[in-house]
């Protein structure tokens, strides 16, 4: 059972997947701009803390699934979690791999 079905949303499975993919892409672009101004460790720490708080909140809202506030709050927290992942934890390790590998390995 998906999270959307647990909270009573009746949408096809492709719509949330596409929406979360767009959120991840948007925050990935923001992360590339933010990396020019902030340090990598700072950005990783901030996004990891946001992801932790959002995951904790989603867990609490799943326990309170009967309330209407939990329905929309869980969607908002899921978008925040995905945005934080796409804005730091999901992007920065790939950038580091590109910098650590020698040029002969890349070609």
Give the CATH number, domain containing residue 43: 1.20.1250.20
Provide the domain count of the chain.
1
CB 41 within 8 A of CB 32: no
Cα–Cα dist 8/72, whole Å:
10
Given a contact cutoff of 8 angstroms between Cβ atoms, the answer to whether 7 and 52 are in contact is no
pLDDT of residue 2: 66
Q: Is 5 part of a structural domain of the chain?
A: no
Q: Does residue 1 form part of some domain? A: no
To the question of pTM greater than 0.95 for the whole model, the response is no
Structure tokens at 1: 């059972």
Determine, yes or no, domain membership for 4: no
Q: What is the pLDDT along the chain (107 residues), one digit of tens a residue?
A: 566 666 667 777 788 788 888 998 898 888 888 888 888 888 889 999 999 999 999 888 878 766 666 777 888 898 899 999 988 888 888 877 777 777 776 66
Q: CB of 100 within 8 A of CB of 44?
A: no
Residue 64 lies in a domain: yes
Examine residue 2 and state whether it is found in any structural domain, yes or no. Answer: no
Domain that holds residue 15: 10-106
Return the C-alpha torsion angle 85, 87, 90, 93, nearest 10.
-140
Residue 3 placed within a domain? no
């Amino acid at each position: 059972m998906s999270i959307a079905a647990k909270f009573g949303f009746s949408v096809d499975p492709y719509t949330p997947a596409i929406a979360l993919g767009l959120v991840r892409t948007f925050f990935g672009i923001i992360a590339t701009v933010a990396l020019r101004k902030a340090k990598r460790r700072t950005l990783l720490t901030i996004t990891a803390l946001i992801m932790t708080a959002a995951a904790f909140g989603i867990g609490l809202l799943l326990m309170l699934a009967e309330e209407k506030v939990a329905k929309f709050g869980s969607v908002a927290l899921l978008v925040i979690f995905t945005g934080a992942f796409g804005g730091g934890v999901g992007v920065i390790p790939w950038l580091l791999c590109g910098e650590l590998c020698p040029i002969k390995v890349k070609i």
